[in-house]
């Protein structure tokens, strides 16, 4: 029997699906950006574990200053407020933890064979299923990882067709967005606890490497002064990508945020 698909996300339903009370979900039908909303609330004192969820965004933000489309009824836009007690230098790793949580949450709920394009895009067959933009408060006193998931879109515009996919396009079935949101929060919460034990990715590396789509693939490191090509070997415990250079044969550590890495496959 076809599952009934609600046209709106529901904070209460998601909350009732969770086996933990660490997340408090707030919902609006439409906002400019759930990251902006979460940041405003964080500035006003919103506690760790607050989640801001919207059916659509009018000015969704992507990485590198790009915009992010969040079509009503078919996508999920969700931003978290986290207040980890860790050193500033460790904070960027949380984006990778979010990627892992999203990849596994989506896999558990939908059965899709999700992967990660380093550092944190969730992909399926070389196309992007979900993007993450993490923003930080002024003194690093809070962190807002925001996640956008393509769920029930049945097509993408010409310019995105080769790069983007959705749960519907991968499974042929419309999926309950509340269940996906709950699945991601459950998985992320578990991985986040493992991360907090050491403040690095020691306990998560095996899982991350297992689904790293770039692993063993050719990549181009778009370092402004010195771009180079090589093979992605995996990550280290700080989430840096290890790349064996084609020209020198040496292994370099690529820090997320410093450079972009282009896979010589699928979308870039
Ligand atoms: C990317 O370009 O891959 C990052 C996309 C991040 C989109 C999400 S949707 C929820 C949150 N609010 C935003 O404005 N952006 C993030």
- pLDDT (tens digit per residue) in 25-54: 999 999 999 999 999 999 999 999 999 999
Q: How confident is residue 268, by pLDDT bands cut at 50, 70 and 90?
A: very low
Give residue 55 CA to ligand 1 midpoint distance, Å.
13
Between helix 177-198 and helix 93-110 the angle, nearest 10°, is 140
Pocket test for ligand 1, best of 61, 82, 129, 144 (most atoms within 8 A of CB): 61
Q: Could you report the per-residue pLDDT of 173-232, keeping only the tens digit for each?
A: 999 999 999 999 999 999 999 999 999 999 999 999 999 999 999 998 988 788 899 999
The string of pLDDT tens digits covering residues 135-184 is 999 888 999 999 999 999 999 999 999 999 999 999 999 999 999 999 99
Please work out whether the CB of residue 77 comes within 6 Å of at least one atom of ligand 1. yes
Establish whether residue 147 lines the binding site of ligand 1, counting it when its CB lies within 6 angstroms of any ligand atom. Answer: yes
Q: How far apart are the C-alpha atoms of 125 and 139, rounded to whole Å?
A: 39
- Residue whose pair of structure tokens reads 């500035």 in the numeric block: 43
**Ligand 1 atom 11: residue of nearest CA:** 146
99-134 burial string, b = 16+ CB within 10 Å, else e? bbbbbbbbbbbbebebbbbbbbbbbbeebbbbbbbb
User: Before 119, cis peptide (omega within 30)?
Assistant: yes
Task: Tell me the residue ranges of DSSP E strands in 20-72.
Answer: 24-31, 50-57
Give me ligand 1 centre to Cα 148, in Å: 5
Atom of ligand 1 nearest to the CA of 146: 11
Mean pLDDT of the chain: 93
Tokens of 9: 């996300």
Nearest in space to 64 (alpha carbons), one of 267, 257, 263, 268: 257
Confirm or reject: Cβ of 130 under 6 Å from ligand 1: no
Predicted local distance difference test score (pLDDT) of residue 259: 67
* Predicted pLDDT of residue 101: 98
CB 120 within 8 A of CB 92: no
Residue 265 scores a pLDDT above 50: no
Question: Which candidate, 195, 239, 205, places its Cα nearest to that of 86?
Answer: 195
Whether the full predicted model's pTM is greater than 0.85, yes or no, is yes
Contact assessment for residue 160 and residue 90, using Cβ atoms and an 8 Å cutoff: no
The response to whether residue 68 sits with its C-beta less than 6 Å from ligand 1 reads yes
């Amino acid at each position: 029997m076809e599952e009934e698909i609600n046209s709106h996300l529901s904070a209460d339903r998601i909350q009732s699906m969770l086996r933990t009370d660490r997340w408090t979900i707030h919902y609006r039908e439409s906002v400019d950006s759930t990251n902006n909303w979460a940041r405003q609330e964080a500035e006003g004192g919103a506690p760790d574990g607050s989640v801001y969820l919207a059916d659509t965004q009018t000015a969704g933000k992507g990485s590198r200053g790009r915009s992010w489309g969040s079509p009503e009824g078919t996508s999920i836009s969700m931003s978290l407020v986290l207040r980890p007690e860790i050193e500033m230098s460790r904070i960027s790793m949380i984006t990778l933890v979010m990627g892992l949580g999203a990849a596994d949450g989506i896999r558990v709920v939908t059965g899709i064979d999700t992967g990660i394009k380093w550092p944190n895009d969730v992909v399926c067959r070389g196309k992007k299923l979900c993007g993450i933009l993490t923003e930080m408060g002024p003194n690093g006193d809070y962190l807002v990882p925001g996640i956008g998931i393509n769920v029930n879109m049945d097509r993408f515009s010409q310019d995105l067709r080769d790069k983007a996919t959705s749960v519907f396009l991968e499974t042929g079935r419309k999926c309950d967005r509340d269940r996906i949101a709950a699945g991601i929060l459950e998985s992320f919460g578990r991985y986040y606890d493992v991360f907090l034990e050491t403040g690095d990715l020691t306990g998560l590396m095996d899982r991350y490497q297992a689904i790293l789509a770039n692993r063993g693939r050719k990549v181009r490191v778009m370092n402004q002064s010195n771009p180079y090509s090589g093979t992605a070997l995996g990550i280290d415990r700080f989430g840096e990508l290890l790349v064996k250079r084609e020209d020198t044969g040496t292994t370099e550590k690529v820090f997320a945020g410093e450079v972009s890495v282009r896979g010589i496959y699928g979308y870039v």
